[in-house]
Amino acid sequence: MTIATAFVYLLAAVLFIIGLKFLSSPRGARRGNQVAAVGMILAVGWTVVLLRDAFTPAGIAICTVGVAIGSVIGTVGARRVHMTAMPQMVALFNGVGGGAAALVAVSELLKLAGARPDFQTGFPSVFAIVIGGISFAGSALAFAKLQELMTGTPITYPGQQVVNGLLALVILTLAVGVLAITGSAVVFAVLLGTALILGVAFVLPSAGPTCLWSSRCSTRAPAWPWPQADSSSTTSR
């Protein structure tokens, strides 16, 4: 089962990468979405198989409702959002995914009741908290800029890079503390808060047209150029 699990997750990761590659071109975007969707179905489906004995009736109900709500939102959004607003939608989806990963990681650490996590549990949890927090905050700010809820011009101040570097240093210190010293809820709550602040700080100096790229780079996810929508286009297909 361990070898099969590793193979399935590796295949899913490869499909995600291939999907992102197709998304680099408007001509291959549709196929890229389909390939990535297959990878996601494979990863989620195998996870359900692995955890089938751990599911409770309440857990099954919550997962079912979550899948239904997410499917409706995704379908409606894909069909009704104008092409000119597609970057905003991507920013929202990117942020929600990161935030969900961070919350799941926090939930896992809370189960330890303050005990120091082992490396196998602690490292991916800390990684998810940091990257998920940065992704959520950065993508939320990117959405606000793209939607013109705030100024789209770069926001800078003296010593900005120094502040960002100090925030990154604090995150690194807290991460080491969680892995090597304690699993206190206070520590990883501060870790999540600092990651959120860094996500905002990372996107602040970006202009409106480039802040989505910045928010995706903050999670080390590949970014791709968005095609200019034709003035006659009204909805995405």
**Average pLDDT of 114-134?**
87
Q: Is the pLDDT of residue 221 over 70?
A: no
Q: Is the pLDDT of residue 206 over 90?
A: no
**Average pLDDT of 95-119?**
86
Which pLDDT does position 236 carry in this prediction? 40
Q: Is the pLDDT of residue 224 over 60?
A: no
Which letter, b or e, does each residue of 147-164 get, where b requires 16 or more Cβ atoms within 10 Å of its Cβ? eeeeebeebeeeeeeeeb
Range ranked top by mean pLDDT from 86-90, 120-124, 188-192: 188-192
Which pLDDT does position 229 carry in this prediction? 38
Which pLDDT does position 210 carry in this prediction? 55
Weakest mean pLDDT among 4-18, 62-76, 83-97, 108-122: 83-97
**Average pLDDT of 69-82?**
83
**Average pLDDT of 77-105?**
82
| Residue bearing the bigger pLDDT, 90 or 216 | 90
Q: Which long-range contacts (CB under 8 A, 24 or more apart) does 20-28 make?
A: 20/221, 20/222, 20/224, 23/224, 24/222, 24/224, 24/225, 26/227
Q: Is the pLDDT of residue 194 over 90?
A: yes
Weakest mean pLDDT among 5-19, 94-108, 167-181, 201-215: 201-215
Where residue 94 falls among pLDDT bands split at 50, 70, 90?
A: confident
Calculate the average pLDDT of the chain.
80
Where residue 212 falls among pLDDT bands split at 50, 70, 90?
A: low
Which pLDDT does position 208 carry in this prediction? 56
| Residue bearing the bigger pLDDT, 94 or 217 | 94
